[in-house]
Chains A and B, each alone.
Chain A
Amino acid sequence: MILFLLGLITGAIGGMGIGGGSVLIPSLVLFTKLNQQAIQGINLISFIPIAVVALIIHYKNKNLLFKIILPLILSGIIGAFIGSSLSLNISSELLRKLFGLFLLFMGFYELFYKNKKT
C-alpha cells in the first residue's frame, strides 16, 4: 500500500531531523486526487502518533526543555487557530500554490543547511 510506504519514508526522514511533511505532502499531491486541505490534514493527523512515540523516548533521555516548551505552545495555540482558519477558508488551488511557494523556501533551506558539527 503506497500510503504505508510514503509514511515509512516520511517517518524515516522525520526521524533524522528533516521535516517529513515537506516530502509527504508533495508525494500525496502526486499519488492521490485529494485536495490540498485534505492532504495537509493527513500530515497533521499522522504526525500525532509518531510524535507521541518519539516523545516517550525523548522524555526518557531528558531531551525536553519544558521551560521553553510551555510558552511556545501557549502562543502557538493562537497561531494554530488562525493558520488553520485561514487554510480552511481559501480555495484548494490557492492553498496548493501558496504551499508550493512555502515549499520552495523549505527546499532552499534544506539545500543550504550546514550542520556546524560535521
Chain B
Amino acid sequence: MDKLRHLYKIIIIGFLAGLINGLFGAGGGTLVVLYLTSFLKIDQHKAQATAICVILPLSLISSLMYYNNGFTSIDSAIRVAVGGIFGSYIGSSSLNKIPENYLRKFFGIFIIIAAIRMVLA
C-alpha cells in the first residue's frame, strides 16, 4: 500500500529524468537523487548509486538516438570516457577529504557563469 502511493510519483520522476537526460544530455541523475533523498529519505550514497543505475540505460538509449542522427563524435567520447574512468576513481577516493558543500558552491558558481555565457552568446 505504501509502495503504491509512491509508485505514481516514481513513474513521473522516472519519466522526467529520462526526458531531461534525453533533451539536455545531462541532469537526469540529479533529479533522481533529489527525489530519492528528499521524498523517500534514502541516504545519499544509495541514492547516487541508484541514480547511476537508472540513468545508464536511459543514456544508452539517448546515445543511440543521437548517434543514429549523426550527432556525435565517437573518438572524442572515448577520450573523455577514458579520462572519466580515471577521474571517477580519484573522485571517489577523495570523497572524504574535501568538504562537499564547499565543492558544490564552487562548481555552482562556475556553472552559473557558464550558463549565463551560453544564454547570452
Contacts and interface: CB of A to CB of B under 8 A. Distances in A.
A44 B25 contact: yes
Contact of B23 (A26, A52, A83): A83
Interface in A1-50: 1, 3-27, 29-30, 32, 34-35, 37-50
B84 A7 contact: yes
Contacts of A52: 56
A112 B112 CA distance: 12
B28 to A, nearest CB: 7
Contacts, number: 372
Given A72-B14, A79-B15, A115-B101, A11 B84 contact: yes
Given A42-B72, A44-B63, A15 B58 contact: no
Nearest to B3: A67
Interface string B1-29: 00100010011111111111111111111
Contact of B61 (A80, A97, A108): A80
A21 B82 CA distance: 15
Interface in B21-57: 21-30, 32-34, 36, 40, 42, 44-46, 48-50, 52-57
6 contacts: A11-B91, A44-B63, A63-B49, A71-B11, A76-B14, A84-B66
Given A5-B83, A104-B119, 7 more contacts: A48-B60, A72-B10, A83-B20, A87-B22, A107-B108, A108-B108, A113-B101
The 5 closest A-B pairs by CB, nearest first: A15-B91, A11-B87, A7-B83, A83-B22, A40-B25
